[in-house]
Amino acid sequence: MSELKDCPLQFHDFKSVDHGKVCPRYTAVLARSDDDGIGIEELDTLQLELETLLSSASRRLRVLEAETQILTDWQDKKGDRRFLKLKEHDVGASVKHGKPKKQKLEGKGGHSTGPGPGRPKSKNLQPKIQEYEFPDDPIDVPRIPKNDAPNRFWASVEPYCADLTSEEVRVLEELLKPPEDEAEHYKIPPLGKHYSQRWAQEDLLEEQKDGARAAAAADKKKGVLGPLTELDTKDVDALLKKSEAQHEQPEDGCPFGPLTQRLLQALVESLEGRIKEELVAQGLLESEERPAEDSEDEVLAELRKRQAELKALSAHNRAKKHELLR
């Protein structure tokens, strides 16, 4: 009983965590089936509840480790006191064994007294020594692995929840200023030439370049071969007549090729439009009521749609920046 009274253990009463009250989301997830799964909106609540359970378990482990260390230290101190007592008994026994004659006479005088006082003590010494012997190596207490997940999570969230600094306020003020090229995003470029006219002009330029190259090549050959003789002139005339006979005019009587015809058609349409506009302006011709050229332009409609979306988005961003500055 005295040993129990001297025991330094405190015997803490651990209060268990009520999962139903403290961790309702965790309890509900455990009750689900495997097919239900966990939603994204539940992760924040689950993390807080798991951190609560982790802190409770860590607190209990720390208390148990402290109690284990106290118990180990107490046993070591208790064993040291027993060894000191055993040494005192050994010294007393050696002094008594120094008088053997007196012990023999006392043993002969009364056989009913049993063995001498020194012998039973020596028999009881060995069990006590074996009982309180402890290893010198300290007991390795398992350490709890450090959990850095909560720290990393809060470190990643902190930049989004921290107060605005003076540098960030200055950047916001700069962003609130309208950019210099903002008006350029809402300009509609003028309508260019029709693709048929542009292609006709490109083809004409290409033909002019080809003709210039052919003329340059002919001049080069003429300079190399020298002036044509009379016989050569006759041969050339014969070849020209033969080529004219082969390339007869088509049935419609048009002497131009398809490329030249397209070019002339584009030029005639442009000229006709200018003449009609001039006649309408002079009052000599009534204007035809027709829809505007860009009324059915899909490209222009898409441009205006995207510009309207850009204006709405810019206004929304500007309003949010004003809210941050307040």
Task: Supply the pLDDT for residue 112.
Answer: 45
pLDDT (0 to 100) of residue 130: 47
C-alpha to C-alpha distance for 89 and 122, rounded to whole angstroms: 9
Instruction: Please state, in angstroms and rounded to a whole number, the distance separating the CA atoms of residues 131 and 79.
Output: 9
**Largest Cα span, the chain:** 179
Alpha-carbon distance of 91 to 94, in angstroms, equals 5
Predicted local confidence at residue 116, as pLDDT: 47
Query: What is the mean pLDDT, run by run of 10 residues, along the chain of 326 residues?
Result: 61 73 85 81 87 87 85 73 52 48 45 47 45 55 75 88 84 86 83 80 87 81 54 65 58 61 78 84 68 64 91 92 83
**What integer pLDDT is reported at residue 306 of this predicted model?**
92
Tokens standing for residue 101: 């004659």
Contacts of 83 (CB under 8 A, 6+ apart): 129, 132
Rounded to whole angstroms, how far apart are CA atoms 87 and 70? Answer: 26
pLDDT reported for residue 101 = 45
pTM greater than 0.75: no
Taking the CA of residue 91 as centre, how many other CA atoms within 13 Å lie in the half-sphere pointing to its CB? 6
- In angstroms, the CA 56 to CA 16 distance is 9
Cα angle 92-94-98, degrees, rounded to a multiple of 5: 115
- pLDDT for res 127: 46
Token digits of residue 295: 């009324």
Q: What one-letter code names the amino acid at 301?
A: A
DSSP code string of 30-86: HHS-TTT---GGGHHHHHHHHHHHHHHHHHHHHHHHHHHHHHHHHHHHHHHHHHHHH
Query: What are the contacts of 124-133 at 24+ separation with CB within 8 A?
Result: 125/86, 125/89, 125/90, 128/82, 128/86, 129/83, 129/86, 132/78, 132/79, 132/82, 132/83, 133/79
The per-residue b/e assignment along 181-213, b for 16 or more CB within 10 angstroms, e otherwise, is eeeeeeeeeeeeeeeebeebeeebeeeeeeeee
Q: Residue 303 carries which side chain, given as an amino acid letter? A: L
**Residue range 34-91, pLDDT digits in tens:** 778 788 888 888 888 889 888 888 888 888 888 888 888 877 776 655 544 554 555 4
Amino acid at the residue 269: E
1, 62 Cβ separation under 8 angstroms: no
Instruction: Give the residue extent of every domain in the chain.
Output: 2-161, 163-192+299-326, 199-246+255-282
Question: pLDDT at position 277, please?
Answer: 84
Contact 46, 25 (CB under 8 A): yes
Q: What is the CA radius of gyration of the chain?
A: 56
CA 265 to chain centre: 60
Report the distance separating Cα 63 and Cα 227, nearest Å. 120
For 136, half-sphere exposure in the C-beta direction (CA atoms, 13 angstrom radius) is: 0
Q: What is the pLDDT of residue 197?
A: 81
